[in-house]
Amino acid sequence: MFGSITTDMVLAILPEIALLVLIAVVFVTDLVVDEKRRGILAWTSIIGLLITMLLTAFFAQPGAEAETLWGGMLRHDWLAYVSKLIFLFGALITTVFTLNWDSVRFKGEFYVLLLTSTLGMTLMGASADLIMLFLSIETTSIPLYVLAGFLTDDDRSTEAGFKYLLFGAMTTAVMLYGFSLLYGFAGSTGLYEISAAIGAGQIPAAALAGAAVLVLVGFGFKVAMAPLHFWAPDVYEGAPTPITAFLSTASKAAGFVVLTRVMIAAFSSVQAEWQLMLAIAAVISMTLGNLVALSQTNIKRLLAYSSIAHAGYALLGVIAASELGAASVVYYFLVYVVTNMAAFGVVIVVSRVIGSDEIADYAGLSRRSPGLALVMLLAFLSLAGIPPLGGFIAKVLVFAAAVQAEFVWLAVIGVLNAIIGLYYYLIVLKVVYLTPGKDEQKALPTPRPQAVALVVSIVLLLLMGTVFAPWYQWALNSASALF
């Protein structure tokens, strides 16, 4: 327990250390630089995040065997490694999207909060203990509450922040109650020790399944699955759009990493029970998300319901509780993060020029900016699951995992839902490409940094759909760390 600190231990938390240094640098820069030159804050964050990503990619790579370090608090395995890279990428693209946005880019606290939330996520991806898990979830959530309500002169933003906080605080309290019961059953807070204690002990399955329900309430909120999705549309609509992008990608992915790890590691003795609960949640999420999305007129709300539906698809991989299932969840989020970042990137650029998030105002976008329209086309087709884009492979994998685990009925419902989904994505694309708009002659310029971020996302999206092997190897490595 009191062993000395080894290089391995430090390398395992290298991303966290780098982020912490970056947070301190942004803080100090904000203090010493005068107000007119604070534009460098965003660039500091971008360069810092790039360096953190490179350091993580090259030095924090785990070995073949998963290790539990820092007194059992953190797990150093491939799942943690890949998920950390996903979160850092999400934070990086989000920061790029805030450039040229005057209401936040001169505010150091915005970037500090964003980076702190990312730090929480990287810890979430590696948590191996109930204490660490609770703290990392809160380190992620509390800054996000503030960020969602960051635009204090906009009623909808403060309302979004407050709703997010209320739902978040309540579901966290329920989850914590579940954790306390779990501690009581097992006598230990280590996720991997809990499973051993439960496997050996004589805890009634009903009590354990009850604790699983309480814990799932907390995780379900983070991933915005039905029936815990009520906050998502309002928060997505009201929050500043880059934060919406961050919430719907990195924050959701973090929730899924934790969900997969905890369900498989700690609740393996009541697997049939939680599989059934999650199957019901997945069916409601997919069906409700897709059906309600059909009637949306605001693009951010449409993407919110679409993200609820996508939580449902990804749940199929968790439900399978197999190596293929866990790999499909990781692959799903590799793809989903780049796809949704591209989709929200277009929304951010367009809404800064036309000042509206209504789908009707996207009419004629293909004439005003063919590039943005093309990005939107590719991102939406990937969300709908059309080959040769990443979304297709991701969907095939989760459905295959469900079929392999003998949940054929779930896969069938998933495929039917994918067809409904295709309909509303195509409706938006029809407005973008075919409907005549009023200002068709006026070009709609994309600022260079945003254009670079969009191109990077789209290239990754195409790569994940065509050059399938290296990404799948990452996903498989992550999955094998769990079993």
Partner 1 sequence: MVPVSYYLALAAILFALGALGVLIRRNAIIIFMSIELMLNAANLLFVAFARSFESLDGQIYVFFVIAVAAAEVAVGLALIVTIFRTKHSIDIDELSSMKG
Q: Is 351 in the site for partner 1 (CB under 8 A)?
A: no
Nearer to partner 1, 25 or 176 (CB): 176
The burial class, CB within 10 Å (0-12 / 13-18 / 19+), for 377 is middle
Give me 430's structure tokens: 């029809």
Q: Is 181 in the site for partner 1 (CB under 8 A)?
A: yes
Count of residues near partner 1 by CB under 8 A: 44
Give me 402's structure tokens: 């469900």
Among 28, 61, 187, 430, binds partner 1 (CB under 8 A): 187
Nearer to partner 1, 166 or 280 (CB): 166
Least distance in angstroms from the C-beta of 206 to partner 1 = 15
Euclidean distance between CA atoms 236 and 301, whole angstroms: 7
Rounded-to-10 torsion of CA 105, 111, 117, 118:
100
Q: How far is CA 253 from CA 41, 94, 248, 406, 440, in A?
A: 26, 15, 8, 25, 38
Contact 357, 366 (CB under 8 A): no
Q: How is residue 33 annotated by DSSP?
A: S
Q: Of 56-64, 134-142, 260-268, 436-444, which part binds partner 1 (CB under 8 A)? A: 134-142
Q: Is 220 in the site for partner 1 (CB under 8 A)?
A: no
Among 15, 90, 120, 161, binds partner 1 (CB under 8 A): 161
Q: In the beta sheet, which residues pair with residue 76?
A: 67
Q: Is 233 in the site for partner 1 (CB under 8 A)?
A: yes
Residue 66's Cα: distance from chain center in Å? 23
Neighbours of 260 (CB within 10 A): 25
Of 8-47, binders to partner 1 (CB under 8 A) are none
Q: Is 134 in the site for partner 1 (CB under 8 A)?
A: yes
Rounded-to-5 percentages of helix, strand, coil across the chain: 80, 0, 20
Q: Is 155 in the site for partner 1 (CB under 8 A)?
A: yes
Q: Is 169 in the site for partner 1 (CB under 8 A)?
A: yes
- Give SS3 for 319: helix
Least distance in angstroms from the C-beta of 108 to partner 1 = 17
Among 146, 396, 403, 426, binds partner 1 (CB under 8 A): 146
Instruction: Provide the binding-site residues for partner 1, judged by CB under 8 A.
Output: 130-131, 134-135, 138, 142, 145-146, 149, 152, 155-156, 158-163, 165-166, 169-170, 172-174, 176-177, 179-181, 183-184, 187-189, 233-234, 237-238, 295-298, 301
